Amino acid sequence: MKTPDELCQKLGYQFKDESLLAMAITHRSFSANNNERIEFLGDSLLNMIIAEALYKRFPNLREGELSRIRALLVSGKTLAELANEFNLGVFLRLGAGEKNTGGHRRNSTLADAVEALIGAIYLESGFDVCRERVLSWFEARIAVLNPESSHKDAKTRLQEFLQARKLPLPDYQLLDTEGADHQQTFIVSCSVSLLKSTISASGSSRRKAEQAAAEKVLIALKDTE
């Protein structure tokens, strides 16, 4: 059985008040004392933190472009991807009905829980610690942002990067599949001619694992420029 400490390790933050952590991962189907209010707080904090990060990173972008990029970063899809990186679904406290219908894999439930965790960290340790944790979670995604193509996914951006340099397309290989059939984790490698070693990543589907691997390759390529 998964323990709170395992989740804290994945988050990079150790909760002193376990009741606060418990609230953040409790769905309304489980208890009246759930994460809805704290998720509301976390949503506002996330928007503020990401807005500030984008404002500093792109000093020449207009308000509309900054808003568009922020919307992509704080979208339910991105937050659910982040939740899967934390393996958050296995820690969620769900009512029997919600659990039986796959609530621990539902994007909206996962995204809400990430926002609730942000709110919980803020309540326990204040804004500076909260901002540091959020930025560490989003660091890789922010590092590879390109305002010209921020609406495109990582695989598309990597393909265009290589095509612009007339280089071979990336090679994705499925390395392993772990877990039960209803909750598998896929491990995929991505290799490109510009890098000496392959890069691997995991995800709750092969497509998501490939996207995560492409994102890592883009970061590695950025470091070589």
**Does 6 show up as a binding residue in the annotation?**
no
The pLDDT, as a whole number, for residue 149 is 59
Q: How confident is the model at residue 62 (pLDDT cuts 50, 70, 90)?
A: confident
Any residues with CB less than 8 A from the CB of 154 and at least 6 apart, and which?
A: 144, 211, 212, 214, 215, 218
Q: CA dist 113 to 68, 69, 82, Å?
A: 23, 22, 11
- Judged by DSSP in three states, 72 sits in helix
Mean pLDDT computed over every residue of the chain: 90
- The answer to whether 121 and 135 have CB atoms below 8 angstroms apart is no
Task: Calculate mean pLDDT across residues 34-43.
Answer: 96
Query: What was the pLDDT predicted at 182?
Result: 73
Judged by DSSP in three states, 113 sits in helix
Q: Is 115 annotated as a binding residue?
A: yes
Question: Has residue 143 got a pLDDT over 80?
Answer: yes
| Average of per-residue pLDDT across 48-67 | 92
Q: For residue 130, what pLDDT is reported?
A: 98
pLDDT of residue 10: 92
pLDDT class of 21 with cuts at 50, 70, 90: very high
Which among 17, 63, 81, 115 is annotated as catalytic?
115
What pLDDT shows up at residue 161? 87
pLDDT one-digit tens code per residue, 158-206: 998 899 899 999 999 999 998 877 778 899 999 999 998 899 998 888 9
Q: Answer positive or negative: Cα dihedral of 55, 78, 90, 100.
A: positive
The verdict on whether 43 is a catalytic residue reads yes
pLDDT band at 125 (very low <50, low <70, confident <90, very high): very high
pLDDT for 71-118, tens place per residue? 889 988 889 989 999 999 999 999 998 888 888 888 899 999 999 999
d(CA 210, CA 190): 7
Q: What is the pLDDT at residue 224?
A: 65
112 is in an annotated binding site: yes
Query: What confidence score (pLDDT) does residue 148 get?
Result: 67
181 is catalytic: no
What structural domains and CATH numbers belong to the chain? Answer: 4-143 (1.10.1520.10), 154-224 (3.30.160.20)
Confidence (pTM): 0.68
Q: What pLDDT does residue 151 have?
A: 59
Query: 176 has which bridge partners?
Result: 187
User: What is the Cα–Cα distance from 201 to 107, expressed in whole angstroms?
Assistant: 20
pLDDT tops 90 at residue 30: yes
* pLDDT attached to residue 59: 92
> Strand pairing partners for 26?
93
Out of 43, 81, 210, 215, the active site residue is 43
34-40 long-range contacts (CB < 8 A, ≥24 apart) are: 35/112, 35/113, 35/116, 36/112, 38/116, 38/119, 38/120, 38/123, 39/112, 39/113, 39/115, 39/116, 39/119, 40/119
Q: Please check the confidence at residue 11 and state whether its pLDDT lies above 70.
A: yes
More confident residue, 225 or 79: 79
The side-by-side arrangement of strands in the sheet containing 185-191 is 171-178, 185-191, 199-203
